[in-house]
Structure 1
């Protein structure tokens, strides 16, 4: 087995074709965050982006996207924004985690949303959670029937608010793939304001995230696209979402709405319209990411898909030093996640901080 480490922009057509075939052969690897398009786009905005190409005599059998930082520290590619990570591989391929890291020049490699079935990394998992999935394989009507059975009050309330929004503010319309850059900027401004209200770091406060999103939004092919969806009242945008899609799955990534319309829950209406459009486009599912602490995701879900968090470590001094620095922080975070009371308290504290920071900015 041969392992070559290259920059994403150095991937050739034959390698990208092989990558795509691996995704098609193993459906769980079909996530857009595991696509060559996302990897290449990350390479254009991140100097640390690399890809390990694992080959045997007949050609590539795996692709491992990652970021390489000083001291032999590796992270998942685009870890701050990526919702799916791991090795894209041919069916039946086998890997040795330590050998892979050694070839990549890494002592450790951290992951936060590992796709299921990566058995060579499983010994290094420290936390397993579930991503929320909306099953659209049998069409939107079938999904809606299931939602009505699982979450009847939620669906009834959302449909009522949708009708009321239409009566109060004008006819509702929806567009699944908006190309307008001004509306894209509007969505980002809504999302930045939401991050501030919640006391969370603003993803769009980082120039590389904005550039990445713009590059991905420009892609529209049968295998990959970055669709911007928008919900309108009387032609005025009231909610939107920017995500990624493959030929089978749509990823929930950056949803946001105009706070002026908050009482109507336009974000929930947007999600239902988006699921309807995705099903009509032939997509088989929507993945909303990890659902911990999210009531609306719990209500919308059809099923969960396992994802894991952890850190792969070689038997080296560099890995040992990194473990000593990071383990207490990781254990404290997991302890909070495992306790609903502590998680709720932390979430409320962050929102209070966000509101205080917003008030201070307006003075």
Structure 2
């Protein structure tokens, strides 16, 4: 009979070396934990800057069977680094992965919110993430196959490259950069993008900025963060912040100059980054959640994760559920809408460690939803240019 699962909550800095060695061994030997987000280095760095950071250490008897890095927001538990953590779950041996339901049962939070759970789970819904998996010949073989399959699309990108060069000058791409000035430039572009789209600015809370800078400054042999940039002539036209570990390269935060969207600088930068990184030995390039149209032309692999909110039985409606209900009333009905609104609330809750900050974020989201609903009802507005 299996021993009862028990948990101890501790700070990451309190982890003893033997436990850290076990963590590292599991991430190297369990294929499900190949993403950089599972590495001990990510947790150790994120725990220094994320409010409410902790590690759940699961045991059966005296034996450690898993770790779950997380953060608390009141009675809610989220993966450590949320909303910026693209993969999460229990770090464990391949044959002893703990289920989402088991974790929720032993942690017993008011609410456990996981946007991209890796491992056994029944709650919530399945979502897909997409990757480029390159064979050993590397980038050139991958590009030849993609161009053969989607000739029109990639010919269009080649024309876009020529157009960008004709307009601004020769294209120059650099990867593996660790310049904090570039990080700030990227954050400014992303903040402007969030404002245009009416989404919550995940960098306004401060600690999320600190996380990118801390990851950028870290120096580890087999884990790191870096930036790739594209210049056309004297103009910086696109940037991307990525995480990498082992042979896995995770595209994380892309940004480009909106005025050049017709030339697809962000897509061109991703292509050139893969070419340069493949030459350094990377073979899996993760593009995160499927959905954006361009990804289907690139990716040839897929991973299924679980998005779920596990609520303690018997609890009344939380602030988050109330916020989702209010936003839904402003914008319409339907499961797809409710899922979208829950994701929006989860982002607000994760970024804002205080109740006041969460209320402000929800109020902004409500105003945006009302404005979008009104615009949809009234149709496009004509603007007179004078």
1:47-58, aligned counterparts within 5 Å?
47-56=51-60
Say if 2:8 and 2:56, in contact at 8 Å, map to a contact too: yes
Aligned to 1:283: 282
Q: Distance in 2 between matches of 1:179 and 1:196?
A: 27
Secondary structure of the residue aligned to 1:317 is coil
Q: Name 1:20's counterpart in structure 2.
A: 24
After superposition, the C-alpha distances for 1:274-319 in whole angstroms (9 at most, x for unaligned) are 1112211211211111122x111222222221121012345x434x
Equivalent position SS for 1:130: strand
Which protein, 1 or 2, shows the higher relative CO under an 8 Å CA cutoff with sep ≥ 6? Answer: 1
Distance 2:114 2:87 in 1: 9
Measured after TM superposition, the shift of residue 42 of structure 1 is 2.3
Query: For 1:127, which of 125, 128, 149 is the aligned residue?
Result: 125
Give the one of 5, 8, 29 matched to 1:4.
Answer: 8
Q: How many Å apart are 1:211 and its aligned residue?
A: 0.4
Distance 1:11 1:151, change over 3 A: farther
Decide which of 114, 117, 138 is 2:117's aligned counterpart: 114
CA 1:22/1:145 → structure 2, altered by over 3 Å: closer, same or farther?
same
Question: Displacement, 1:81?
Answer: 1.3
Q: Which range moves more in the overlay, 256-265 or 21-30?
A: 256-265
CA contact (8 A) 2:110 2:311 kept: yes
Say if 1:128 and 1:307, in contact at 8 Å, map to a contact too: yes
Equivalent pairs counted in the alignment come to 336
Unpaired runs of 5+ residues, structure 2, are 341-368, 377-386
Q: How does 1:313-352 map to 2 (within 5 A)?
A: 313-314=311-312, 316-318=313-315, 325=321, 334-336=335-337, 349=372
In structure 2, the residue corresponding to 1:92 is in which secondary structure? helix
Partner in structure 1 of residue 144 of structure 2: 145
CA distance in 2, matches of 1:171, 1:133: 30
Indicate if the aligned counterparts of 1:170 and 1:233 stay in contact, CA closer than 8 A: yes
- Structure 2: how far apart are the matches of 1:323 and 1:261? 41
| Deviation for aligned residue 1:90 | 1.0
Aligned-residue CA RMSD (Å): 3.0
1:207 aligns with 2:206: yes
Distance 1:313 1:259, change over 3 A: closer
Describe the superposition over 1:75-119 as per-residue Cα deviations: whole angstroms up to 9, x where unpaired: 22222111111111112115465654454352431110112xx22
Aligned to 2:66: 62
What runs of 5+ residues in structure 1 fail to find an aligned partner? 340-345, 354-363
Partner of 1:87: 90
- Counterparts of 1:264-283 in structure 2, within 5 Å, are 264-283=263-282
Q: Check whether the contact 1:137–1:279 (CA below 8 A) recurs between aligned residues.
A: no
Q: Partner residue of 1:358?
A: none
Aligned to 1:187: 186
**8 A contact 1:137–1:283 mirrored in 2:** no
After alignment, is 201-210 or 39-48 more displaced?
Answer: 39-48
Where does structure 1 differ by over 4 angstroms across 4 or more consecutive aligned residues? 56-59, 96-99, 320-324, 326-333
